[in-house]
Structure formats: structure tokens, C-alpha cells
Structure 1
């Protein structure tokens, strides 16, 4: 009898241990660290798009995955601090964009990093090639050099009288080198005088905008988290000075800017969720090709044009994806 009891206990112990272990494993959920380069006002809709697409792919926040959000609002120091926080927490994936990619890569070479929008990852040393990145970083590239040239061409076609152009530039912007190079080539080709105005923090914006009145025919805003988070201030200043503006994000035009041309960022953040899904299911960033935008939007604000006293050429209006009237 005692022998039977001993055998029963041994068998019970052997079978119970895996069950407890499985229960513990099933409770553990992967953690995503979403390092948002902007603010809730500037990036909230894009982040929501990411979360919705991730849910469609089977990952519901709070059920089988946990998403932790940190909002840097274009602040470089906060971005770096938040990246370090995620590494210390040992999150499973870091999702980010813009300077967040730089901060995350500086903080870790092992945790997978998915970028929803970044410049040239190969030129900046974060990937060996677009087809095979080879490291812990992958995502969506936004081709800053090519697009800056295209925007300048659109601006000149929309408003042929532009001869002097100011460019508001965040010196911490990850894609600055490539975008500025494209601007210089295009402005020289079109015989436009280019004046680069540098900023680094939100406190630099007001004095920078004060330099524009009477010294430029239009303003090109390098659209990134810092300028996006402070777009209302920028647009109010240019409206008061009657200066036409061109941006990369349609959100600037929705807020009162004149023109925008660039990738559809909602689509980019949705596609970033697809990268994240694959990594959560076992894929590695090293083998996941960096992709480029497939949707580009030209948005024109005729209300802003009217208040500025400018007329947009019909050739550009006909190509617009959306005209705000």
C-alpha cells in the first residue's frame, strides 16, 4: 500500500510540474516599448493606427501583449532617456520613428527595433542594406533627399514667384543631411536663394520665426517630431507674416498650413505593426527588408491660400490628392 502511495505521489509530481510551468508561460505576455518621437497631439492618430493594425493581426494590448508608450515630444534628451528605460525593462520590441531610431540603436544592439518612419538607415550605419539589414533594426524608410527636391519643385510650380526660400531645420533631425542635400541641389537648379534657419528645441522656434518677415518668399519646414509638436506656433507666425509654407505631413495643412507632400504616415505606422507582428512570431530584423512608402499625398489648403493672398497654379491643383476649401 505504501508503495502504491509513493508511486502515485511520484507520478503526480511529474505530471503537475509541466502543467504549472505551462501556466506560468501562458501568463507571460510580450512587451512592446513604443518610443513615440512626438506628442499625443502630433503623433496620436498614427500610434492609434499602429495599435489597430496590430490588433487586427491578433495582438490585443492588455490581453496577449502589453504596449508601453513614452511620448518624447521632439525632446532629444527625453528620447534618449526613454530608450534607456525600455532597454532596462528588457522589452521584447522597441517601436519608434525619427530620432527615436538613433536613441534606441545607441541603447541596444540586441532588442529588435522597428521604425515606422526614418531616413536612410543604410547611410546612417544602422543597416547593411535595404534588402538584408543584418542587425537589430528594420522598418520603413521615407527617402528624405528625393522628397525634399520634389517638394521644392511643387512649391515653385504652385507659386512661380518664389525666389527666396527659408528652411526651418531641427539640427537633431535624423534625416537632416540627406534632406538638406536634396534641397541645396534643387534650389541651385531652380535659381532659388536658400536660407537655412536652425533650431534644436521648442524655445528656438519663436526667435527663428521672427527672422522671416520681409526676408523670404516662402518657408519650407523640415517636418519631424519637434516641428510637428509645435506646428500651431509655426503656422500662426507664418500666417501673421503672410508667408506661404510647405511641409511633409498633411497634419500641418489640416492645422492651417498651405501645402504638404509626402508619405502617408498612417499607412507607414500600419505597416510598422506588420513588422512587429512578424517579430513577435519569431522573425528577426536582420532578415527583414527595409521597405519604402507606397502612398504619397499632395494636400493643398485653399483657405490658407486665400488668407495669404496667393493663387495656386491649376497644374498643381489638378494633381492634389485633397484640396481643403
Structure 2
């Protein structure tokens, strides 16, 4: 154990005089020196350790620099609800209470919403956040998916005159997304070929039923539809039928899909830091609503593009695009 350093008496006396002098000046002055002003504190709670979460948190940390925002601590719930509950209880027992909490991932977001009803919360990286009732007078969030308008804009640019876009979905999980997409069909001059499923076993037959009717397949983040088995199936059929597949996952692109459209996670973290600054600077404001990500990233599978004969010239100049394989 490290030994405590004890100053000689004359230095302790001098330090005591200085502290009494400082306290006296503070008490008798109406102006608090700027160098002594307390920083605003933010607590970060992440559901688990994954690359996307860490990129987002790094962006948040960078965005807080020089903004008088202090990150009190970063907690990892390890993807375990029981671990998460213990950590949340420890946080509640400790002081001071953070002025804002950043919750990264669905486990962190749902636990924090339940346990900190009086603290402004910013959540990020929650897929299909509508399903988890992440709303309230103290809730602010950034969607983990690009807006449908942004997705369809890029889709139209790449597809050109091809109109028929297929989508397979579970109405219990992503019915709202499909309803919103249906409202955009006329604007983007698409014809959505929609097929409902209620289990993973139905995906293969659903795909075979529509594959000859569509010009592209749009894969939305639906856990009934997107599994290890179905990704392999969809990849094989897309190459056989020269069918472009668009999604919101880099992993699915690496498995054979043509293109993913998703937020730039680092910039999402920076965007969250701006929201935190707004909340901290306006104590009467406790919620800023749900925001869409300000910047997107495209991941494009050039091998798939070559196999199915897609011309990439229209989007290769996109400002934030990753070509796979390099």
C-alpha cells in the first residue's frame, strides 16, 4: 500500500492560511471565479462492449472536450440484466447524481429509463426504439437507423428506373416502419412488394414468392427475418437471381448484400454530446425528443455489385462510403 505523504508543519500552516483566505474571498464576493466553476457531469452506461458502441462513446467524449462537460464514469452492463441491475443500484447509492445520463444500447436505455425518472436521459444505438416505450418527459434519443427518406433517396439513386422493391417483415416487430414506408411510395415512385411473416421458417417461402416480382430486396432490422440462416439464404438467392439487397448492417453486406445505409456511429456520439450540452445549459429543458442521425455511412460490396451487374458510379463519390472488400 502506498504511504501517504505528510507535509512539514510550516507548509501545512501556509496552506491553511491560503485556504481560509480563498474561502473568505469566495464568501464575500458575488462573483465566482470561472476556474472554480463546477463542471456539468454526464454518466455513460453501455449495454455491453461492442465496436459500434465504443465508436459512439468515443465520438461523445471528443464532443464534450472544451465544453465544460465532465464524464463522471463509464459503466459496462456486460449484456447481463442482473449485472445491470446491480450496477444501477450502486450508481443510485453513490453521490452526486449525474446531471445527464447517456444510455448506449437497449439494455442500458430500458434500465436507466425505469430507474432514473428525474434525470435527463439521452439514448443511442437502440434498434427499433419504438418497441421499448423509450419516451417520457426526461427522454431524448437518436435513432440508430437512417431515416426512411434518406434510405429511399440513396436507393432511388442506385436503382434508377427500377421500381419494385421487396420487403419481408414481421408486423409485430416492424409493422410501423412498413406503414411509414408505404407513405413514401408515391414520393419516391417505388412500388413496395410487402410480405408478412411471423417466424424465421416462413422467410424462405416468402422470398421465393416475391423474388421474380421485384427489382431489389430491402432488408429492414427485423429479428424475425434477419438470422444467421436467413442471411445465408438471402445472399445465395440474391447472387443467383442477380438481385440487389439493401440493408442497415455492415455484417450483412460482408455476407453478400449489396449496400448498407446506417448512421456514422462516431458522429452520432458527437451529436449526442451536442444534445447533452443543450440539456445542461437549459436546466428547465428535460427532453429534446427523438432525433435522426445527422451523418450516414454507406458500406458497399463491390464483389456483389460486379456479380449482379450493378453500376456503382452514381454513389461511389458519396462523402462517407466504405468499399468492401477493399
* Normalised TM-score (structure 2): 0.59
Which structure: larger Rg?
A: 2
Q: Using a 3 Å threshold, how does the CA distance of structure 1 residues 110 and 234 change in structure 2: closer, same or farther?
A: farther
Task: Render the CA deviation track for 1:132-186: whole Å, top value 9, x for unaligned.
Answer: xxx3222424686xx224424543442344525123358446xx62x32331123
Unmatched runs of 5 consecutive residues or more in structure 1: 1-14, 16-28, 59-63, 73-77, 128-134
Aligned to 1:311: 310
Task: Render the CA deviation track for 1:33-83: whole Å, top value 9, x for unaligned.
Answer: 3235xxx5xxx222222443455557xxxxx844322355xxxxx77x777
Aligned to 1:34: 46
* Normalised TM-score (structure 1): 0.59
Aligned to 2:124: 116
Count of residues in Structure 1 that have an aligned counterpart in Structure 2: 262
**1:192 and 2:191 aligned:** yes
Q: Contact 2:170/2:196 (CA < 8 Å) preserved in 1?
A: yes
Q: Using a 3 Å threshold, how does the CA distance of structure 1 residues 285 and 306 change in structure 2: closer, same or farther?
A: farther
Aligned to 2:138: 136
* Partner SS state of residue 305, structure 1: helix
CA distance in 2, matches of 1:171, 1:100: 23
Q: Using a 3 Å threshold, how does the CA distance of structure 1 residues 198 and 94 change in structure 2: closer, same or farther?
A: farther
CA distance in 2, matches of 1:89, 1:213: 52
CA distance in 2, matches of 1:105, 1:66: 18
Q: Using a 3 Å threshold, how does the CA distance of structure 1 residues 125 and 267 change in structure 2: closer, same or farther?
A: closer
> 1:106 offset after TM fit, Å?
4.5
CA distance in 2, matches of 1:324, 1:101: 32
CA distance in 1, matches of 2:220, 2:83: 24
> 1:87 offset after TM fit, Å?
4.6
Task: Render the CA deviation track for 1:248-268: whole Å, top value 9, x for unaligned.
Answer: 344543453211224312311
CA distance in 2, matches of 1:278, 1:319: 30
Q: Using a 3 Å threshold, how does the CA distance of structure 1 residues 277 and 292 change in structure 2: closer, same or farther?
A: same
Aligned to 2:260: 260
Q: Using a 3 Å threshold, how does the CA distance of structure 1 residues 258 and 71 change in structure 2: closer, same or farther?
A: farther
The 5-angstrom pairing of residues 49-68 of structure 1 reads 49-53=55-59, 56=62, 57=64, 65-68=72-75
CA distance in 1, matches of 2:103, 2:120: 9
The 5-angstrom pairing of residues 18-167 of structure 1 reads 32-35=44-47, 40=49, 44-53=50-59, 56=62, 57=64, 65-70=72-77, 72=79, 87-91=88-92, 92=98, 93=101, 95-97=103-105, 101=109, 104-106=112-114, 108-117=116-125, 126=135, 135-141=137-143, 147-159=147-159, 160-161=161-162, 163-167=164-168
Q: CA RMSD, aligned part only?
A: 4.5
> 1:102 offset after TM fit, Å?
5.3
Aligned to 1:183: 181
Q: Contact 1:113/1:137 (CA < 8 Å) preserved in 2?
A: yes
Unmatched runs of 5 consecutive residues or more in structure 2: 1-15, 17-40, 66-70, 93-97
* Partner SS state of residue 212, structure 1: helix
